[in-house]
Structure 1
Amino acid sequence: MSDFDNIGKLMHLKLTDIESGDQFSESEYIIKAAAESILQANGRNWIPVIVKEIGDYKYQVVTNNFIYIVARQAKLERVWCIVISPESQSIEQAKILAKEVLPKVNLNTASRDTILAALKYLISEPNSALRGVDPILATNRIAESNRKTWSNFNSILTLRCGITKGKKLDALTKVFFLSSLPASPPLPPPENVSIKSASRDEIFTRLSYLSKSKIDGFEAIDIDKSSDVIFSASKGKWKSLNPISKLESGIDTTKVKTLKKVFSL
């Protein structure tokens, strides 16, 4: 019979049925002194080990590995444990509550108060790389920015909030993470067509591609107007695409060079 129904229960488990969790380092003195305190309490550990079930009546330490090590030092036959759900979210929560890992918040969606609290924590750390940063100024500029699309922290460098490239920026990863949606795959470029014989729809399709792909500032162009102007122009004597820059199409000489990606003569 499996013990999965015992999730959330306090159980007195055999120490031989429990595997160690993450590597743990503590002084021999602390471990021996803690083991002696357990023996003086009639072999009871008042703070339980948190375990997950990895098989029928087989367990692995999730958090409080120190207590497990101390129980082994004390040569206990059984140790008090709480069995938790094996889902990663439950395990992460247990480690956070045991202060074994630092909680992180999503900077894409974090509230202003959460950002401020996190920055104050980082700044208050001993030898903090962020020492000298004004937490209120930094929080205000980060909170007011368009963070939903951030896929890395580099955008913070443009906010002039005291957080610079290097150790200061890297320090943010201790308490923040980003989960913005990955960028959409690039649009396939349309087939190159002659500007002289292209229909209005063909012109619009190619300008729209440049606009949607945000190539060389074409996203700021009025595509409908530009398509109408180029289509209506007398193009029979054109020897290059340069005359487009002289039309009232919103396309200057710099952008004309980009048109060579989708138009020929």
Structure 2
Amino acid sequence: MSDFDNIGKLMHLKLTDIESGEQFSESEFIIKAAAESILQADGRNWIPIIVKEIGDYQYQVISNHFIYIVAQQAKLERVWCIVISPNSQSIEQAKILAREVLPKVNLNTASRDTILAALRYLISEPSSALKGVDPIVATNRIAESNRKTWFNFNPILTLKCGITKGKKLDTLAKVFFFSPSPEPEPLPPPKIVSIKSASRDEVFTRLSYLSKFQIDGFEAIDLEKSSDVIFSASKGKWKSLNPISKLECGIDTTKIKALKKVFSL
């Protein structure tokens, strides 16, 4: 085995030293016509085959499989090839640039513009299952969602964006994949303090903890406003934390239980 020092080189290789990487099909007419065009150009393939080195003087087709098949049809002795790195990223890139596979984007991190472009592409395909879906509406609802931990497309079904279970949802797999970020390990909660005597900073710190770790929906509240309202409230007669739900600070009765993790009376 060589040290793969031919990476990046344009090489005129023997066709017999190259093996097909995968099955490829095309009409007999197209292949024969293309082979004739190569023969008329002095047997030179002006678009090279992309190969990787698999041994001493041994190569395998990575992309531009069509040219390889045409070269066989034309019975060429040698073909022009570019040798690329055998790592998976280089191989995937070559296939994408040759339009042999569709590029895919990570839906966990994709920008709004990228999501919109991808949906418009899918909708434009002939007989697309997504015909009738408004790409702007679907994009806005997907982009605004907390997608960091998604590992499948099912959360989209709850967004009421026109993409329903079945063929519509399955179509998304053509251009999207998932690589979710690991959820942060929750730190121990801050020391419980009395809501009646807590400083404004102590209130803010504890609400920030609940927000950071997305406990009971606290990630959606306005931390600055909520801290100001709670700190400024007259709390002398409070007998529980329940009055906080009436302060119009974004904390309703369903969130009071979480407050008990960081506040007492």
TM-score (norm 2): 0.70
Question: Is 1:126 the counterpart of 2:129 in the alignment?
Answer: no
Percentage of identical aligned residues: 80
2:12 maps to which residue?
12
Distance 1:116 1:84 in 2: 32
Whether the 8 Å contact between 1:3 and 1:56 is mirrored in structure 2 is no
2:86 maps to which residue?
86
1:178 maps to which residue?
178
Give the residue type in structure 2 aligned to 1:134: D
- Shift in Å, 1:225: 7.3
Distance 2:256 2:83 in 1: 56
Question: Is 1:221 the counterpart of 2:261 in the alignment?
Answer: no
Deviates more, 1:26-35 or 1:133-142: 26-35
1:137 maps to which residue?
137
- Shift in Å, 1:117: 0.2
CA deviations 1:97-147 (Å, max 9, x no partner) are: 000000000000000000000000000011111100110011011111101
SS of alignment partner, residue 5 of structure 1: coil
Deviates more, 1:72-81 or 1:26-35: 26-35
- Shift in Å, 1:27: 1.5
Give the alignment of 1:1-265 within 5 angstroms. 2=2, 4-181=4-181, 220-224=257-261
Distance 1:113 1:220 in 2: 39
Give the residue type in structure 2 aligned to 1:75: K
Q: CA RMSD in A?
A: 2.5
1:207 maps to which residue?
none
Listed as ranges, the gaps of 5+ residues in structure 1 are 186-211, 230-265
CA deviations 1:2-46 (Å, max 9, x no partner) are: 361221111000111100111011122211111111111111000
Distance 1:62 1:123 in 2: 30
Distance 1:133 1:114 in 2: 17
Distance 2:75 2:262 in 1: 83
Whether the 8 Å contact between 2:215 and 2:258 is mirrored in structure 1 is no
- Shift in Å, 1:160: 0.8
SS of alignment partner, residue 50 of structure 1: strand
Distance 1:168 1:144 in 2: 20
Distance change >3 Å, CA 80–CA 108, structure 1 → 2: same
Give the residue type in structure 1 aligned to 2:45: N
Distance change >3 Å, CA 157–CA 74, structure 1 → 2: same
TM-score (norm 1): 0.70
Distance 1:225 1:66 in 2: 65
Give the residue type in structure 2 aligned to 1:125: E
Give the residue type in structure 2 aligned to 1:17: D
Deviates more, 1:18-27 or 1:111-120: 18-27
SS of alignment partner, residue 22 of structure 2: coil
Distance 1:146 1:153 in 2: 13
Listed as ranges, the gaps of 5+ residues in structure 2 are 186-213, 217-253
SS of alignment partner, residue 5 of structure 2: helix
Give the residue type in structure 1 aligned to 2:89: Q
Q: Which has the greater radius of gyration?
A: 1
Give the residue type in structure 1 aligned to 2:258: I
Distance 2:136 2:184 in 1: 34
Distance 2:167 2:256 in 1: 35
Give the residue type in structure 2 aligned to 1:139: T
Count of paired positions: 201
Distance 1:92 1:220 in 2: 50
